[in-house]
Copies of this chain bind each other. A is one copy, B any other.
C-alpha cells in the first residue's frame, strides 16, 4: 500500500489527511489558516502535522503531497495572491515544503482537485473526458481531457463559473456582469428566490417571514422539496441556466459526462429534473446522447482532501 497527503487550504481552516491508495482517509487533522499572517511558520506547522499523521499511523513514506487551494497554480506550485487568505503574496509551497521533506508537491485550485479526485477515487474512474462543476459560495469547474486535467497556458484554465452566461446580466463579485456564478452559486440561488418572492405578492410559503439576508440555498431546497412553488421555480430557473452552461461546455470538449458537486446540488428532484431538461434542450444535436449528467460519488466532507491527494497521481 502507498500513501499520500491531501491538503485543502481554505480561508478559515487548513485540512490535512493521510490517504491510502484505495481512497480511504486513514487520519486527518487541521490548523486554522487565518491564525497565520506569515508563510514560513504556517508551512512549518503543516509539516509538523504531516509528520505526526505519518508517525501515528506507522507510515514511513508517502508518494507525495497534493494541495488544493484558492488560486493554486499547477505550473508554479504557488498560491498567487489569494484574496481570501490572511497570508499575502505569492506562496511557493513546493519550495518551502521541500525544506522539510524530499517529496513530490503538486498544487492546483480546489475545483480542479475535486475533478481529479473524482477521476482517481470517485465516479469518473476510467473516464477520459469529463467536466466537474462545483456549486457553493461560488461556482468552480475542473476539466479532464484525454485523462489529464486541463491547466492551459497559465495554469488557470477551467474557470467556467466566470464564463459570461447573460451579457449585461447580474453583477458578479469578479467585477464583471452575467457570470454563470451569479445565477447558480448558493448566493445566486438566494438572489433568484428573493427576486421571485418579491414578484409574488400573495406568496405565503414557509419562508414568508424569513428576511432576505437570512435565507440560504439549503432552506430554499428544503422548501422546494416541501412543495413551495416559489422555491421550486427558483431551482428550475437555476437549472435552466446551469443546463445552458453545461451544453456550452460540451461544444468545447465533447465530454462523456458532467459531474456535479456541492451543497446546492443535494436538493435532488427540484434541481435535477429541470436540469436534465434544460441540458437536453440546449445541447447541440450532434452531441445528443453522448454526455450524461452525474452526481459526484465522493463524500462531501472528504472530497477536498481526496481531490488534493489525487493530484499527485498526475502525469
Residue positions of A touching B, CB distance < 8 A: 71, 128-129, 143, 145-146, 148, 150-160, 162-167, 174-176, 240-241, 244, 247-249, 251-256, 281-282, 284-287, 290-291
15 pairs from A and B in contact (CB 8 Å cutoff): A129-B152, A146-B148, A152-B252, A152-B253, A152-B254, A154-B254, A156-B286, A156-B287, A157-B252, A158-B251, A159-B286, A164-B244, A165-B167, A175-B285, A176-B281
A252 cross-chain contacts in B, Cβ below 8 A: 143, 150, 152, 157-158, 160, 163, 249, 252-253
Q: Which residue in B152, B167, B247 is a CB contact (below 8 Å) of A166? A: B167
CA separation between A156 and B250, bound complex, in Å?
9
* B284 with A254: CB separation less than 8 A: no
Please judge, given known A-B contacts A167-B244, A244-B167, A248-B164, whether A254 and B151 are in contact too, CB under 8 Å. Answer: yes
Q: Which 9 A-B pairs rank lowest in CB-CB distance, beginning with the nearest? A: A152-B254, A157-B254, A129-B153, A163-B248, A159-B251, A153-B256, A162-B284, A154-B254, A163-B251
A interface: dominant SS: loop
Task: Tell me the nearest residue of chain B to A73, going by C-beta.
Answer: B286
- The residue on B at minimum CB distance from A160 is B251
Known: A251-B159, A252-B143. A282 touches B164 (CB 8 A): yes
15 further A-B contacts with Cβ under 8 Å, apart from A153-B290, A159-B284, A176-B284, are A129-B152, A143-B252, A150-B253, A151-B254, A152-B254, A153-B291, A154-B287, A156-B286, A156-B290, A160-B251, A162-B251, A162-B284, A163-B251, A164-B244, A166-B166
